Amino acid sequence: MMPFWIAMQFLTVFPIQLKQMPSKQQNGQSLLFYPVIGLGIGLVLYTIALGLSALPSMLLSSLILVIWIWLTGGLHLDGLADTADAWVGGFADKERTLKIMKDPACGPIGVLSLIIVCILKWSAIYVLLEKQYVQALILFPMLGRLVPLFLFLTTDYVREKGLGSSIANYIPKMISIIVACLSLSLFTYFSWLGLGCIIISILILLYLRQQFIRRIDGITGDTVGASIELVEMAAILSFVVLSFYI
């Protein structure tokens, strides 16, 4: 169960105390549980949406977004802000981009990226509540946490001393494929709407991966966090947009 607790400790604000320092193998295996943790986050959001359904949708969508951010400790939003700052300030230079990402300060582009993502997520949550697709809230955090599994399996980690530098070597590849397929299959509950959402999300992820490779020859922890946020946003936004046409 150590890999599960590693994933829980890293991805949430719950006070998990590990009894021993995890091994590289356990860190790699913990990625298999990322979608499970995402599913748990989604279930919390769904429960809140049901329990407070008497509230106006505008207020409820705000509460759901705040709790969503709180549950993750804003970890991935931090990665998004750092990546946005580095992409604009790096001027297409690899070393400059990596240097800016290590800077803890958040520049105006980073702040703007956070505002844009949060506004779009909030708007999409509001529409989900209005169109009574509340159960879909369960799936979006899970989809976002499939992103690290894909990126670490397919893309080089560029920081030699970073936590992720050896993770990919210890991810069970066959089990990862099974986990990914099972997770994505849950979207079939929404038929063509779910399928369209998955296709758009995958295309966005592939585009982000291509940009990371082009600029810095791989990924960092910040770019993985940014990808989680952007794929989550793309998924929930595409879902609500497609719901008007499918």
Q: 19-54: per-residue pLDDT in tens?
A: 888 888 999 999 999 999 999 999 999 999 999 999
Average pLDDT, stretch 176-186?
96
pLDDT at 186: 96
Which has more pLDDT, 167 or 26? 26
Task: Dump pLDDT digits (tens) for 105-123.
Answer: 889 999 999 999 999 999 9
pLDDT higher than 90, residue 86: yes
Average pLDDT, stretch 218-231?
96
pLDDT higher than 90, residue 72: yes
pLDDT at 163: 65
Q: Is the dihedral of CA 120, 234, 48, 195 positive or negative?
A: positive
pLDDT at 246: 84
pLDDT at 23: 87
This prediction has a pTM of 0.96
30 burial (CB, 10 Å; 0-12 / 13-18 / 19+) is buried
pLDDT higher than 70, residue 165: no
Average pLDDT, stretch 158-182?
84
CA–CA separation, 229 and 145 (whole Å): 9
pLDDT at 170: 87
pLDDT at 229: 98
Percent of the chain with pLDDT over 90: 85
Task: Tally Cβ neighbours within 10 Å of residue 53.
Answer: 12
pLDDT at 1: 86
Candidates 225, 234, 233; CA nearest to 76 is 225
What is the Rg, in whole angstroms, of the alpha carbon atoms belonging to the chain? 18
pLDDT at 162: 64
Q: How far is CA 140 from CA 59, 95, 149, 183, in A?
A: 20, 33, 15, 11
CA–CA separation, 44 and 241 (whole Å): 24
Q: What is the mean pLDDT of the chain?
A: 94
Q: Kindly indicate the confidence band of residue 92, based on its pLDDT and cuts at 50, 70 and 90.
A: confident
